[in-house]
Amino acid sequence: MRGLRIIVLTADAERLRGALVMATAHAALGGDASLFLQLNAVALLTSPLAAPEDETHQAAGLPTLAELLAEALDMGVALIACQSGLALSGLSADALPAGVEIGGPLSFLQQTDDAARLLIA
């Protein structure tokens, strides 16, 4: 199965939610998946991790953004926070959720071979 690489470009919690759902589904099918949170998107990882639509999703029996993130990490989805995004958001590496890596676009793209699907969210 081809790998799935998703770049989250903006600090839009619903885009991150969608990216996490797709990456987790890909991992459930046995595929390799990773997300790269670029620049302002890193701010979505601020503790406590929450999204404006969490209550609506919970009312529908769906997981919160924090639950989705934990599930993705448990399933082996790689989550990479942009180094520049850390600086922009004022976060430090130790403030990130456990399991989130730090990297840059070059290292993310180096892990993306020609067979991988690359999506922009």
Domain 4-120 coded CATH 3.40.1260.10: yes
Of 121, 119, 118, 115, nearest to 1 by C-alpha is 115
Q: What is the mean pLDDT of residues 19-25?
A: 97
pLDDT of 55-108, one tens digit each?
A: 999 999 999 999 999 999 999 999 999 999 999 999 999 999 999 999 999 888
**Tally: H helices and E strands in the chain:** 5, 5
Give domain limits for the chain: 4-120
pLDDT of 28-70, one tens digit each?
A: 999 999 999 999 999 999 989 899 999 999 999 999 999 999 9
Q: Which residues contact 57 (CB under 8 A, 6 or more apart)?
A: 17, 63, 64
